[in-house]
């Protein structure tokens, strides 16, 4: 899953990006509202973590302009904790609201819940035959035994599982799983899919030639 973090405090921005990447997310960042709006409109992010008090364009204005064109999930993150600020954020189209200072585990849990609901996946796990994906713990078992995956392998598997029954194009996978610093012209995707098939069974991920990948 690919996340955009729009935050003007450099230390918090770095720590959030680092924590999200360690959880397996692809992460893009922006320190000003205008840059954040440009990126949010240019890419199909799975979620945006958005501060309110930003230079050049505040979070409310960014959200209002984004909602004219996209329904991207938005989690507002701000030090403004007055009731009318929370109400304004939600009424402006935010999907959730978290007040600073916050606990990182709560932010990660809120993001997971938002993404699950948007995909119509209410349960915290996905069963694919003898393969079970724990969306909360971001872990995988096969026939009851734990399977060790890299963060990127897990991200690919989760995305295909959430969209099971659909053919996911290679470009869509790159768009949602690799951030702006990754080399998307490499064969990274093929390498990761090959590894997943070795660990979870050759038939789990099906290749549709000329189209993409699918978990049926």
* 194-203: pLDDT as tens digits: 999 999 999 9
Tell whether 88 and 139 lie within a shared domain.
Answer: no
Q: Which domain holds residue 196?
A: 125-214
Strands (E), 94-171: 96-99, 125-128, 131-134, 139-142, 145-147, 168-169
Tell whether 106 and 132 lie within a shared domain.
Answer: no
Q: What is the pLDDT of residue 78?
A: 81
Tell whether 114 and 148 lie within a shared domain.
Answer: no
- Predicted TM-score (pTM) of this structure: 0.80
* pLDDT band at residue 8 using 50, 70 and 90 as cut-offs: very high
Given 50, 85, 118, the domain boundary residue is 118
The three-state secondary structure class of 21 is helix
Q: What is the pLDDT of residue 101?
A: 87
Tell whether 98 and 165 lie within a shared domain.
Answer: no
Tens of pLDDT, residues 174-184 = 888 877 776 65
Tell whether 192 and 90 lie within a shared domain.
Answer: no
Q: What is the pLDDT of residue 54?
A: 93
Are 94 and 100 within 8 A, CB to CB?
A: no
Question: Residue 7: is its pLDDT beyond 90?
Answer: yes
What residues does 125 pair with on adjacent strands? 134
Tens of pLDDT, residues 45-102 = 999 999 999 999 999 999 999 999 899 999 998 887 778 877 888 888 899 989 888 8
What's the rounded Cα separation, in Å, for the pair 47 and 45? Answer: 5
Tens of pLDDT, residues 130-165 = 999 998 888 999 999 999 998 889 989 999 998 888
Give the number of domains in the chain: 2
The three-state secondary structure class of 27 is strand
What's the rounded Cα separation, in Å, for the pair 34 and 181? Answer: 20
Report the CATH number that the domain containing residue 185 is assigned in CATH.
1.10.10.10
Helices and strands counted in the chain (H then E): 8, 12
* pLDDT band at residue 118 using 50, 70 and 90 as cut-offs: confident
Given 103, 118, 133, the domain boundary residue is 118
Burial of residue 50 (CB within 10 Å: 0-12, 13-18, 19+) is buried
Checking DSSP bridges between strand 145-147 and strand 139-142, what pairing results, if any? Answer: antiparallel
Q: To which residue do tokens 């819940």 refer?
A: 113
Tell whether 143 and 74 lie within a shared domain.
Answer: no
What's the rounded Cα separation, in Å, for the pair 90 and 86? Answer: 6
Given 60, 83, 118, the domain boundary residue is 118
Tell whether 46 and 150 lie within a shared domain.
Answer: no
């Amino acid at each position: 899953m690919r996340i955009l973090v729009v935050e003007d405090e450099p230390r918090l921005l770095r720590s959030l990006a680092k924590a999200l990447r360690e959880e397996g997310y692809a992460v893009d960042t922006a320190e000003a509202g205008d840059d954040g709006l440009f990126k949010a409109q240019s890419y199909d992010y799975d979620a945006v973590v958005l501060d309110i008090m930003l230079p050049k364009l505040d979070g409310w204005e960014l959200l209002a302009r984004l909602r004219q064109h996209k329904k991207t999930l938005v989690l507002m993150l701000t030090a403004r904790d007055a009731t009318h600020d929370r109400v304004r954020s939600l009424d402006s189209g935010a999907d959730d609201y978290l007040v600073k200072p916050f606990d990182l585990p709560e932010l990660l849990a809120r993001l997971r819940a938002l993404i699950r609901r948007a995909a119509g996946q209410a349960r915290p796990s996905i069963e694919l035959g003898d393969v079970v994906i724990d969306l909360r713990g971001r872990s995988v078992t096969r026939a009851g035994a734990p399977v060790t995956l890299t963060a990127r392998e897990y991200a690919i598997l989760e995305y295909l599982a959430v969209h099971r029954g659909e053919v996911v194009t290679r470009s869509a996978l790159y768009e949602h799983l690799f951030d702006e610093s990754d080399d998307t012209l490499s064969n990274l995707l093929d390498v990761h899919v090959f590894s997943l098939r070795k660990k979870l069974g050759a038939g789990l991920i099906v290749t549709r030639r000329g189209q993409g990948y699918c978990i049926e």
